Amino acid sequence: MDTLLDVQDLWVKFPSRQGVFDAVRGVSFTLGRERLGIVGESGSGKSMTGRAILRLIRPPGIVEAKQISLGGVDLMGKSEKEMRAVRGQRISMVMQDPKFSLNPVMTIGDQIIEAYRQHNRASKTQAYAKAVEMLEAVSIRDADRVMRAYPHEMSGGMGQRIMIAMMLIPNPEILIADEPTSALDVSVQRQVLDIMDKLVKDRGMGLIFISHDLNLVADFCDRVLIMYAGRIVEICQADKLSEAKHPYTRGLLNSLPRLDAPRDHLEVLKRDPAWAQAPSVSGRV
């Protein structure tokens, strides 16, 4: 398997009045043409890992790594200007919350058209047609009404599909999807995942899928990294997630309500401080 992205010993640090806080602590993994899932709770550093790859962590946050290499070139050595050519064109990111990543004072149509014309030379009419096509590709009904609408008029699910439509335009090599479907419901979730699945297969893209939903990741990804307190505690093949051994993974799996096994009370995760101390497991292949 050819390696698209190779991350070695990644640290993300935030200096604070109480000393330096390590959000990500020595994480290593590689990404091939596959669907790599990163799961964990909020605060486990999974989003920070995704953002650090694109150098989206603003000062005073510090990103340190032995290397983050994209197709053999180390991203750590690139200038801010060179990074701008990487973002969007080679590595795209779908953010968590469409409410904060869409411009509230521009119509959806204008935003997609702007994104399209940034990367392609096209007339307004062509761009409009392309934007409608993109919206339909992410199964939005009534695309013409959506083009006229402002982000606050959209539901969370619609907003996220609009974001994904915008990310598809430059045809990147790697897509980092940070909780892209948490705001969506099951039936739409499936559609969005199918769209991303098609991209990975057809265009040979690598996908980093960040999520807190274990079942979804088990279903959708090829390989899963489980993060806790900034470290990778376990790596497993997605189809073998139900056989995971680490008590943290087991605890997360057990706290889910299940339709086939009704219970009065759900199991609550009991945390062991030793989990945070154990060294990170390497996800390199």
Partner 1 sequence: MSMLDINDLNVWFGHGRDRVDAVKGATFTVARGESFGLVGESGSGKSTILRAISGLAPLWSGGMAVDGTALSKQRPKAFYKTVQMVFQDPYASLHPRHSVDQVLGETLHLHGFGDIDARVVKLLDDVGLGQKFRFRYPHQLSGGQRQRVAIARALAPEPELLLLDEPTSALDVSVQAEILNLLVDLRRDRGLTYVMVSHDLSVVGHMCERLAVMQNGQIVEIMGVETLRKMEAKHPYSQSLLAASV
Q: Give the binding site for partner 1 (CB under 8 A).
A: 41-42, 145, 155-158, 182-190, 212-214, 251-252, 255-260, 262-269
Nearer to partner 1, 5 or 252 (CB): 252
Nearer to partner 1, 76 or 275 (CB): 275
Residue 32 C-beta: closest distance to partner 1, Å? 28
Residue 59 C-beta: closest distance to partner 1, Å? 21
Nearer to partner 1, 90 or 190 (CB): 190
Nearer to partner 1, 64 or 267 (CB): 267
Residue 92 C-beta: closest distance to partner 1, Å? 23
Q: What CA–CA distance (Å, rounded) separates 94 from 92?
A: 7
Residue 197 C-beta: closest distance to partner 1, Å? 15
Is the Cβ–Cβ distance between 87 and 118 less than 8 Å? no
Nearer to partner 1, 80 or 142 (CB): 142
Residue 193 C-beta: closest distance to partner 1, Å? 10
Q: What CA–CA distance (Å, rounded) separates 63 from 53?
A: 9
